[in-house]
Amino acid sequence: MGHARKGLVLGILLTTAIGSGIVALILVIVETRDVYLPPETKYGMVFDAGSSHTALFVYRWPAGKENDTGIVSQALACSVKGPGISYYREEPTQAGESLRDCMREALGLIPDHLQRGTPTFLGATAGMRLLRLQNSSQADRLFEEISKTLRQFPVDFRGAQLLTGNEEGAFGWITINYLLESLVKYSFAGKWMPPTAAELVGSLDLGGASTQITFRPQSPSGDPSTQEDFRLYGGNYTVYTHSYLCYGRDQALKMLQAHLVQASNSSRVDHPCYPSGFQETLLLEGLYDSPCARPPKAYNPQSEILLRGTGDPEACFSAVRTIFNFSSCGGRKDCGFNGVFQPAVSGHFYAFSAFYYTFDFLNLTKGQSLSVTNATVWEFCKRNWDEMELSYPDQKKWLHNYCPTAVYILTLLMDGYKFTSESWSTISFCKQAADTDIGWSLGYMLNLTNMIPSEEPAGSRAQNRDVWIAAVFFVVLAVSLTTGALAVQYFGLPA
């Protein structure tokens, strides 16, 4: 019986050892491309410093990339309390301090060991572009103070920079097409597929101080200054893009006020876009504090102007047209306004930021026809102030501006960008796509990932494969030894 027990134990040990060898041999012989340790998640942060407010977006993506571009998703959106950073021109240290709460919230999300490798960027747009035109030293000081604050946090701070209008437009275009899977798709076969050109959509962005139009034209751009080129997911893209400084919502409304004040030449000015019964007092110093609203040669900055709403939509449309220069195009079809080259719009467009917020308030984001949109805006502009206040008690601060903003949007899209009653249906007014905010910041982050070294270099798959094999081998070996020990104990054999 002793020999039988010994034989049984030896047989178990021999069988286990053979099994270990077979498993190791299979792992060596069989190609193990898909058997490697998953890459760690990486994070990136972008401050979108607009003219009226700042927001921090945190993005994440796997360290292994598809054609050198990360598969990025939004992890956090934090709205910075207070106005845009250009507001702090007289107290630049406050601009940096205003960002601290959102930075703390973001670092609470990112694992500690990944924070110092997290690229962090602040991009300022049209509000700071205007400030730089007015006072470049103030703009530089703001960026210095912001950089000083953000360098105090354990992140890879890449700098506070001023984006060009073309960059703002192009990155917004990237964002939308990425979220709509127009730049890359994951097929049922488990492969990344490039899209067709017909799937790419255009973007329409309306900020506080500028507006951008970006799309892929049917023919090459006739003006190199309106062209942006970039490479994403293995594909090369060329788009038309132009940013109109001073034609964001806030600055456009200020230009409209300046026109009405100068045309009236009186301290009491009728404003046809404001609801009847509404009154607003302005200091000329505040009206002309921007290079967008050109003052007359002689005026008293401390003079007060009383704006009185008349609720006249027809006069409102006429007044809004005066802030555009349509005659500068000379009848050319390849021209938007103010003499700027623009090819004919083509394809589908996504309109976001103030485009969306204004039309959402008016319940016009459900694909309504142009005739319905015009009728809705027209009727809204005829309402009196008392009726509006009762209907929208929570919107009192901005309520008087919805009519002029809606009229401005219609004029910009139809007369400025040359959409027609037929192409109107190609515009979608949206805030988000795929549960992610639409704006330039995600597009910038996607472009930035091309500059971040992949954490899965050429040799890492082989290294991961070797680690995998070694791990399996030692697991099987441990099982073998455990099996032998149990057999010895069970059969009562000496160790």
* Catalytic sites, residue numbers: 168
* Pair type for strands 349-353 and 202-206: parallel
Query: Nearest 5°: phi and psi at 253?
Result: -65, -35
d(CA 24, CA 27): 5
Is 219 in contact with 189 (CB distance < 8 Å)?
Answer: no
H-type alpha helices, 122-164:
126-134, 136-150
Q: Could you tell me if residue 167 is left (phi over 0), alpha (psi between -120 and 50 degrees) or otherwise beta?
A: alpha
SS3 content of the chain, % helix, strand, coil (to 5): 45, 20, 35
* Amino acid (one-letter) located at 373: T
**Cα–Cα distance, 157 to 107 (Å, whole number):** 13
Which is nearest to 168 in space by CA: 326, 42, 46? 46
Position 137, amino acid? S
Listed in order, strand segments (DSSP E) in 354-454 are 427-429, 432-433, 436-437
Q: The tokens of 380 are what?
A: 């809204």
